[in-house]
A and B are shown apart, each in its own frame.
Chain A
């Protein structure tokens, strides 16, 4: 693990995330959101969880970001109006960040470096998913199906 890479990735991710949270134009914000997840996925790579990183890219950039863009397009008429920024959220977010950071820095037991680890292969993940995690996997499949059907029902045109 390289500190330089980590710092670069961290700055990239956080800058993109901040842009996603603050950019005035919705479409720009959505694109920054996708970029932030690219950064997050690379930090997963850095941590040796390549499979999760890839899944993150597929799910967030391939699906969620596209969904967001579609939603923006479908609610277009409303989007163009300029709207203000609720400054009340800033102190709360800053306070949460400060509090969490303070408690993390205070806890010395987690100031550790990563131990050596044999590479985690996709085969191992697949074996785990199909053996000890097979029931959660099925449940998540069911949940996704239900969410899909529910989303469909929600957006079906109301009958007049």
Chain B
């Protein structure tokens, strides 16, 4: 079965790419055309995605594949291809739609920037790379787009290159993800070595289909873990999560794009895409690779949620919440809830884009201030931002019924609760849910409630170009839940290819009460702790966080990201510095000394032979020294530095080869 849609699918990533290329040729002054081009490219991609999405609705388990030969070397052909299935279709829609909102928002947010056109060129490039990644049907093609996403993130995080911190953060993001990509690439090589193909689906011969999987055998676990290394780097999982909070140095729309639609989603998407590799050869229903995924995810989710509580920068709170949510998705994938994980990824894409753009609006309104302790009272000054931000906050906290995040989180809890090997992940995730509600409540109270502090007094609502995307995304975050509820789990059925029935009774489940209690508890605790945050209370000064006042040491530990950066500084980075210094020293003293030593020995020998010769004991030795000197002079003359001498040597060499050939022939 081959549909026309897959033949033209390359158009989806091509549209932003082409837009990006055209924008790059524009001069800096052509701001309007640059923005218009970028948005037009994104709209074209979105329209095509919707069109393609329509095709997938007709048959359950829809999957079309288009492969082509890239190049051949000898007998072997290297083939790439595109695939289109519900997973890809849903991702395409989310990336294109969230991307479009972010593009429109950027028009307002970056209005003052002098490199406006370059920014839109990079944005389009970023979006195009991610769209290409989603539809790739070859691990190699996926890897190519994966690296393009990495490059785009590097360019955008370091967009304000004149700030040293931004340049540092860009470098850190690039290098940290590169560590994971190293593993990913090794996994690709290993997979190719075992199965001889990198195509996912190829009429039964692809590496994700039964014939290909059968060739892998026991190595599948290692290949899956190596590929997971790439996902760990890209999706900011422990221990490679350190780049994600630093990536906040980029412009806020970039953070939104990275956290919602493109960069970090790639890792989760990758695991979902190659899931057959992970689930190969289960022992008692679980495979070692999936167990690793679960525990990495749980660690990340809980740790990041704890760190988020103690952050003061509005964007860093959101960054750690992203890390935590990505951990949650990994847990879901690991315990077998692939559909739940992807649903949470999609829902998260919308509300995290909303939250970041809301944060951008707040920062824009407060004239660049990012410290939540210096804000406050913005609910009256920035009403649209406040309401949309509240929607995002409740969706992220997982408030049930009205917000998409609540339903997907519940689905993940369901999947985790039924994981056979251990119940620990389930309880740890429950703790994570409480913490999420707590830190989001803290942030909203700090930013929007109380009285305006410091710079917040002169805050103003953002222009329409910025509020419109917020409203659209808020509506998405709410109405997206229509297809997520247990009563009519349409998206679940769509992703898994199972039929869906409408049944209102399934709406009320025990899990609903569990999450209601947990989220309510988290929010209530947040309100109780932070009811007077930002204002002095008894002997606590206004600028000190209530938790910091109660537990200063613990707070400092969390505020510094559990000192993981410092740990890396002391261990990994110190080690590489030390080894660099060691090799420098070796080069200077050991190897150089060795060379000098040989030279000295030869010199001593020369002196010895000369003296022997001079004394006339042996005329033959004299001859030898003369010969040695002559040879040295000859060799030295060969390195005259004159091109004509070198050319003459080439001519003589050519002649020698010619004569040798003629003599042999």
Contact = CB atoms under 8 A, between A and B. Distances in A.
Interface of A: 86, 88-89, 92-93, 95-96, 99-100, 102-103, 106
Interface in B606-665: 644, 648, 651-652, 654-655, 658-659, 661-662
Given A92-B651, A92-B652, A100 B658 contact: yes
Mostly helix, strand, loop or mixed at chain B's interface?
helix
Contacts of A89: 644, 648
Contacts of A103: 658-659, 661-662
Contact of A95 (B655, B661, B662): B655
B658 A99 contact: yes
5 contacts: A89-B644, A92-B651, A92-B655, A96-B651, A103-B659
A40 B654 CA distance: 25
Contacts of A92: 648, 651-652, 655
Which interface class (under 10, 10 to 19, 20 to 34, 35 or more) fits B? Answer: 10 to 19
Nearest to B642: A86
A88 B655 CA distance: 16
Contacts of A100: 658
A88 B651 CA distance: 12
A93 B648 CA distance: 9
A99 B662 CA distance: 9
Nearest to A89: B648
A112 to B, nearest CB: 19
Contact of A86 (B644, B655, B658): B644
Nearest to A106: B662
Nearest to B650: A92
B649 to A, nearest CB: 9
Mostly helix, strand, loop or mixed at chain A's interface?
helix
Nearest to B662: A103
Contacts of A86: 644
Nearest to A93: B651
B657 to A, nearest CB: 10
A99 B644 contact: no
A91 B659 CA distance: 16
A96 B650 CA distance: 11
A106 B659 CA distance: 12
6 closest A-B pairs (Cβ-Cβ)?
A103-B662, A99-B655, A92-B648, A92-B651, A96-B655, A99-B658
Given A92-B651, A106-B662, 10 more contacts: A89-B648, A93-B651, A95-B652, A96-B654, A96-B655, A99-B658, A100-B658, A102-B662, A103-B661, A103-B662
Contacts of A106: 662
B634 to A, nearest CB: 14
Nearest to B645: A88
Contacts of B644: 86, 89
A128 B658 CA distance: 34
A99 B648 contact: no
Nearest to A98: B655
A147 B91 CA distance: 46
A102 B644 CA distance: 25
B651 A99 contact: no
A63 B106 CA distance: 53
A129 B497 CA distance: 55
Contacts of B651: 92-93, 96
A89 B658 CA distance: 19
Contacts of A93: 651
